[in-house]
Amino acid sequence: MKNEILFEARQMNKTFGATIALKKVDFTLRRGEIRGLVGENGSGKSTIMSIASGMQSASGGEMYYKGKKWSPATMVEAQEGGISMVLQEANTIPHVTVAQNIFAGREHLFKSFGVINMKKMFKAADEILDKFNIKHIRGKDPIDFYSFEERKLIEIVRCVEDKTEILVVDETTTALSLEGRQILYDLIHKMADMNKGVVFISHDMDEILEHCNCLTVLRDGDIIGHLSKEEMNSVGAIKKIRYMMVGREIGEKYYREDYDYSHTGKLALQLQNISFGRIKEFNLSLHKGEIVGIGGLSGCGMHEIGRAIFGVEKLTSGKIIRNNKEILNPLDAINSGIGYISKNRDTEALILNASIQENIVLPSLNDLQKRFFINPKEERKLTEAEIKTLNIKCHSGKQLVSTLSGGNKQKVSFAKWIAKDSDVIIMDCPTRGVDIGVKQAMYSLIEQMKKEGKAILLISEELSELIGMVDRLLIMKNFKVTKEFFRSADLKQTDIIEYMI
């Protein structure tokens, strides 16, 4: 029955030691709902659903599912009962096949005479994948064949069974390509049509407004309010939601407000006919005081361009020139004043179990070492200056980066290159998985960098961000640039998308 209560949490409480993650919240999910759950990092939105799906237990309160008391001990038990959660982090088992991943823990289904019939398992996996309209992934392939985005899809496939009544999607879309997202959107709408329930946790306001039919906003472990579809569609809804999330006006200013795409005209970086991998004869000029954006689907080759400029990719032909010198490796790039903010923040940009200070000073150690001595005071001074400029929330520079929230981690990644005083900064998805407060801070930082005459290459999958920030936008498809746009108030996402797909 539509609108029947499917899941209910009453006075749900969660504490970690002295810390309160959830303050006695009441949460209801009805059949047919696609309920968006939004809030800043650490607001408790993931916590509610991770308790419902058996990942952790509540400190207090009760849960009811289909009218009965609900207290799953494990995620497997919850999934058997019908509540599945797709997690934010990568959660596939490496070095085995796709089918083994999909049926992990359920291998007994394919057992005959004590041996698992792999053929049967591969076939069943392909059938499920077909059902989700995922034709390019096959059950018998090793999972390592597939990219991070595709593995995320496999995780989704694993979570959703016929008996699944509630699907929880926890910030999964940031890890998906555009095609992957479409598959996920189709799935959640189908589930809602079948009178099942979906909880959709995301930072991306556009997708929340487009796909959810009701919304709950959290802040500091408390539910601040609910919005109906009508309220979500009303004028100024985004502003209202942001206000609810942050608890203060974050102001009108978000993206750049000027539409002036002029720059100094002085060349900062040049890519001359570079070829490597599937990229052929790629050209690009970046000027001082210019923000160039590259947009496209995740597999279009734009991330590889960023890596190549930083000297990580080996070129088969062509040159990357800065200040009349060729860049061959990251060391050349850094010495010539290029900084690179990797898309894979936790694995390529930051050492998680190192302190904020150790991360920030790492590229600058060369400059800090004088007469074979690095003065710890100088290291601290540099770190403290960056913590202050970027407003990194921490108790000191000695704090481990792994204890920071996603937004603050990203600030540390920025800080490395600001501390190094790099003149050219390549940013690959700099605002991925970052909440609005931090996003706003980063956009104003990027704008300020432009004013200081720095050259910026912004690679992003978020079109609104590219339209809002860049002077010149290159759209890529299949490893080639398909279209170039200049900054304009009239530029719309819909004009761009046709060149991407």
Partner 1 sequence: MNGHEKEKIIRHYIKSNIFGVAAYGGLLVCIIVFSIVPPFFGESIWTITKLSTLISDVIVMALMSVGAIFVYTLGYMDISIGKQVGLYATLMVIIGNKTGTLLWGILLSLVISLFIGLINGATGEVLKIHPIVSSVVIMMVLGGVSSIMYNNLGSRNISLKTIDYRIFKNPIFMLIVLITELIIITYLFNFTKLGKYAKAIGANPIVAQQSGINLIKYKIICYLIMGLCVVVASIFQMGYTGSASDSTGTGFEMNVMIALILGGMPLSGGMRSKVSYAIIGAFTLSLLNIGLPLIGVKPNQVYIIKAIIFIIVVLITCRKSKGMLPR
Q: How many residues bind partner 1 (CB under 8 A)?
A: 51
CB of residue 373 vs partner 1: minimum separation in angstroms? 6
Q: Should residue 10 be labelled a site residue for partner 1 when binding is judged by CB under 8 A? A: no
Residue 49 binding partner 1, by CB under 8 A: no
Any contact of residue 9 with partner 1 (CB under 8 A)? no
Nearer to partner 1, 271 or 349 (CB): 349
- Smallest gap from residue 202 Cβ to partner 1 (A): 15
Interface residue with partner 1 among 80, 204, 348, 378 (CB under 8 A) is: 348
Nearer to partner 1, 83 or 349 (CB): 349
CB 151 within 8 A of CB 143: yes
Position among 248, 260, 372, 451 found at the interface with partner 1 (CB under 8 A): 372
Supply the minimum distance, in Å, between the C-beta of residue 477 and partner 1: 27
How far is it, in rounded angstroms, from Cα 305 to Cα 274? 9
The single-letter DSSP state of residue 217 is: E
Site for partner 1 in 375-404 (CB under 8 A): 376, 393-395, 399-400, 402-403
> Measured from the CB atom, is 113 or 372 closer to partner 1?
372
User: Among candidates 407, 426, 408, which has minimal Cα distance to 356?
Assistant: 408
Q: Which is nearer to partner 1, 88 or 117 (CB)?
A: 88
| Whole-number Å distance between alpha carbons of 238 and 229 | 13
Binding-site member from 310, 414, 443, 485 for partner 1 (CB under 8 A): 310
Produce one character per residue of 163-182: b if its CB has 16 or more CB atoms within 10 Å, e if not.
ebbbbbbbbbbbbbbbbbbe
327 in Cβ contact with 309 (< 8 Å): yes
Of 59 and 164, which CB lies nearer to partner 1 in the complex structure? 59
Query: Could you say which of 3, 4, 11, 16 contacts partner 1 (CB under 8 A)?
Result: 16
Strand order in the sheet with 214-219: 83-86, 166-170, 197-201, 34-38, 214-219, 222-228
**Three-state SS at 426:** strand
Is there binding between residue 374 and partner 1 (CB under 8 A)? yes
Q: Measure the CA–CA gap between 6 and 122, rounded to whole angstroms.
A: 34
- The helix or strand, by DSSP H or E, that contains position 30, with its residue range, turns out to be strand 19-30
Give the chain's length: 501
Binding residue for partner 1, selected from 271, 349, 419, 475, defined by CB under 8 A: 349
Contacts of 419 (CB under 8 A, 6+ apart): 360, 361, 363, 364, 382, 383, 385, 386
74: contact with partner 1 by CB under 8 A = no
Beta bridge partners of 398: none
Compare residues 321 and 400 and give the one whose CB is closer to partner 1: 400
Which parts of this chain interact with partner 1 (CB under 8 A)? Answer: 16-21, 42, 46-47, 50, 55-56, 88, 220, 310, 312, 330-331, 333-335, 340, 342, 347-355, 358, 361-363, 365-366, 369, 372-374, 376, 393-395, 399-400, 402-403, 416
